Amino acid sequence: MKADIRVNFLGAKLNSPVLTASGTFGYGDEVCDLVEMSQLGAVITKTVTLEPRQGNPQPRIAEVASGMLNTIGLQNIGVRKFAETKLQSLFKLKVPVIVSVAGSCADDYLNTVKILNSYNKIFAIELNLSCPNLKKTIICQDKELFETIIKNVKKISKFPVIAKLSPQVQDIAELSFNAQQNGADAVTLTNTFPAMAININTFKPKLSTVRGGMSGPCVKPMALRCVFEAAQKIKIPIIGCGGITNAYDTVEFMLAGASCVSIGTAALVEPKVLNDTVNGLKNYLNSKKIKNITDLIGKVQL
Ligand SMILES: Cc1cc2nc3c(=O)[nH]c(=O)nc-3n(C[C@H](O)[C@H](O)[C@H](O)COP(=O)(O)O)c2cc1C
């Protein structure tokens, strides 16, 4: 028996449920030679914004036990330059391209997606709703803005819309449900977790912004809990994200209710992890005599 690891997602059949997480695979073209791209379900690009951004001052990365902290601050070349210089080479990778988009107000999101609407080969848009709004709280915590962005983007987007949510909220299932009710076609759960680290020699925080986002294996159980809770409440598909490093982690997220996963920190450290995960999934399914990987989705037994 040969296991089928393809998954149906947003009207397409993806070659596998393994995606790259936004911000950890560059714009795709820098790292594609290190990865057998045809094995991946999709590439999610680094987040782009309407105007280019320098990002936060250094230091903006710190290693912690079983993970890392970052405060990159959405450094990117801006959507126009991205579309002119990066999109065409991304399309040549022959893997669906999901463009991650952010902004600090509703119009930023809308205007960025309007520009992307001219590029038919885009597979989907991922709205990064985990960044600060103009009042400096994060968009996921600003109910009105959160709803307006999803609703307005959905109205004009030529592509399916995925809402990427922050775990920094009271009730992730409720927020996911809200995303669904406002038109999101899928959700990504989750972005990084708020955290900090201090240098005991200088007495200074290890990140220039004091706090940053934690990612890597240390966040996996928390992200898994988010996926499980949301899956009880929503009908739209979930991309599980947070601390996934191999096929077994992927299986856990799928059992909790994810249709696919995106791998960030682990692939940043070693891009080969993406292919190893795909191959590991085939071995796992064959050893368990499971024909279709989709048979795992939401099948955790309580
Ligand atoms: C260096 C770095 C940069 C990131 N940049 C972005 C980004 O631009 N947009 C975004 O939505 N998430 C960004 N993330 C979050 C990841 O996409 C992912 O949600 C998070 O790291 C959890 O997954 P992981 O534990 O597999 O890394 C970034 C993460 C890291 C480590």
Of all protein residues, the one whose alpha carbon is nearest to atom 19 of ligand 1 is 191
pLDDT band with cut points at 50, 70 and 90 for residue 135: confident
pLDDT band with cut points at 50, 70 and 90 for residue 26: confident
Q: What is the mean pLDDT of the chain?
A: 96
Q: How far apart are CA 296 and CA 17, in angstroms?
A: 11
For ligand 1, is residue 99 a contact (CB within 6 Å)? no
**In this predicted structure, what is the pLDDT of residue 62?**
97
Work out the percent of the chain whose per-residue pLDDT is above 90: 94
Q: Look up tokens 């990084």; give the residue.
A: 192
Q: CA gyration radius for the chain?
A: 18
The sign of the dihedral angle between the CA atoms of 134, 137, 140, 141 is: negative
- Per the CB < 8 A criterion, the answer to whether 64 and 197 are in contact is yes
Q: Which atom of ligand 1 is nearest to 190's Cα?
A: 19
- Per the CB < 8 A criterion, the answer to whether 160 and 11 are in contact is yes
Q: Please, is 24 exposed, middle or buried when counting C-beta atoms within 10 Å of its C-beta (0-12, 13-18, 19+)?
A: buried
Does residue 28 have a pLDDT over 90?
A: no
pLDDT band with cut points at 50, 70 and 90 for residue 139: very high
- Per the CB < 8 A criterion, the answer to whether 47 and 102 are in contact is yes
Mind listing the pLDDT tens digit for each residue in 224-250?
Answer: 999 999 999 999 999 999 999 999 999
How crowded is the C-beta side of 102, counted as CA atoms within 13 Å?
A: 27
In our burial notation (b when 16+ CB lie closer than 10 A, e otherwise), range 172-207 reads bbebbbbbbebbbbbbbbbbbbebbbeeeeeeebbb
- The residues, any chain, with a CB within 8 Å of residue 60's CB and separated by 6 or more, are 70, 71, 72, 73, 207, 208, 209, 212
- Per the CB < 8 A criterion, the answer to whether 39 and 15 are in contact is yes
Does residue 74 have a pLDDT over 90?
A: yes
Copy the structure tokens of residue 197: 């680290």
Give the active site residue among 32, 131, 218, 226.
Answer: 131
Q: How far apart are CA 87 and CA 23, in angstroms?
A: 15
How far does the centroid of ligand 1 lie from the alpha carbon of residue 237, in Å?
Answer: 20
How far does the centroid of ligand 1 lie from the alpha carbon of residue 74, in Å?
Answer: 10
Beta bridge partners of 205: 198
Cis, bond preceding 132 (omega within 30 deg of 0): no
Does residue 132 have a pLDDT over 80?
A: no
Is 105 labeled as catalytic in the residue annotation? no
Please state which CATH class domain 7-55+73-193+217-296 belongs to. alpha beta
For ligand 1, is residue 191 a contact (CB within 6 Å)? yes
Q: Which of 135, 57, 134, 65 is nearest to 103 (CA)?
A: 134
